[in-house]
Amino acid sequence: MERHYGWVIVAVGALMGCIGMGSLFSLAVFLDPIASGTGWSRAGISASMTVAFLAMGVGSFGWGWVSDRHGPRIVGIAGALMLGTGLVLASRATSLLAFQLIYGLFLGTAAGAFFAPMMATASAWFDRQRALAVSLVSAGLGMAPVTVAPFAQWLLLSGYDWRAAQLVIGLVAWAIVLPAALLLRRPPAVALAAGTATPAGEGLTARQALGSRQFLVLAATFFACCLAHAGPIFHVVSYAMVCGLSAMAAVSVYSLQGLAGLGGRLLLGVLADRHGAKPVLIGGLLLQALAIGAFLPTRSLGEFYAVAAIFGLAYGGVMPLYAVLARDYFGARIMGTVFGAATMASSLGMAAGPAVGGWIFDKFGSYTGMHVSSLAIGFGAVAIAFGFPPLPRVLPGRLKPA
């Protein structure tokens, strides 16, 4: 049955997200080798992620628009080409500015093709088990730290310098993601018409949807959530090493964090199906903030494992819920554009975290300031999430809470 092909779409979306986001975040593993080998500052290298998340945000919006109109396959192919090209060119960069622009623009734009458009496409294939499908696509991001990051560390330990290691990852990304992108396709019309209820935003234009209260609260919460966790995620390897852990142990903390995020995506997705996305999102955001604060006294490997597991479960678990809320409020027709715009807002938060964290460490020789500010912002995200209106009912030409 053709609708069963939706699970192929889920698998492809998860794979592309895993390789794409894993390649982007592998910079956390390369941070110390690049700084040692080039003399570039941590803040300068970390700024590559700032550029990347800005590009990812704009790319998510643009790619979502393209996917709504021309289908996901062209988006996936373009993203795959840009991902490999960015890694190959960045491995040859001879100046910090060139590295920042190449790594940031190419990998960020590529990641934008793998996140919002793939989640939007998967949601459109399902009338039932939609939250599970979206969570499984998002789970591919959770697999990134336990696949690409250890592979990057293994390359470094095997004698490759950071340039050769990035080149290898770029070639592997081409070999895996390009063929996978060819499997993408639009959902059949029957899948789009099979829902038992029509979201109130289904008939809105993208412009109307982006001006609604529902979207503004969604985007603001997404932004604050990502601003809170971006720095602690990216700098966890360096922070663990500053606290005395070996390089491999520090990477294992990062990998455990990502693995916990995989479980969190599935757990919170199931809970959202049963209890609603809003209360589960609020609970996840609160747990995320508390876990960020718990990093402050953490020193031993066991403590890092415990905190990383909770932190990963929380930040990973909340990520699919934004797509679920967007789909519930606005329907499938403009899902790519709307969720892409929300992702663009979140990317502004993700862009600030790595650079600010690197600046704080360079200036004060400690990550304490980063964790304290992230804790405060995390509580702010919880407060904003309480502003989500109830799911709307249909009224002619506008949205109104039920």
Q: Taking Cα atoms as reference points, which of 68, 59, 66 lies closest to residue 86?
A: 59
b/e for 166-203, b at 16 or more Cβ within 10 A? bbbbbebbbebbbebbebbebbbeebeeeeeeebbbbb
Please tell me the predicted confidence (pLDDT) of residue 125: 83
CA gap 246, 226 in Å, rounded: 28
Distinct helix (H) and strand (E) counts, the chain = 19, 2
pLDDT, averaged per 10 consecutive residues of the chain (402 residues), comes to 78 92 88 90 85 87 88 93 95 94 94 87 78 82 77 90 94 94 80 48 76 91 95 91 91 86 86 86 97 96 96 92 85 82 87 83 91 96 91 47 42
Domain parsing of the chain, residue ranges: 2-394
pLDDT value, residue 174: 95
Pick the CATH number of 2-394 from 3.50.50.60, 1.20.1250.20, 3.40.1360.10, 1.10.1040.10: 1.20.1250.20
d(CA 55, CA 51): 6
Burial of 396 (0-12, 13-18, 19+ CB in 10 A): exposed
* pLDDT for residue 402: 39
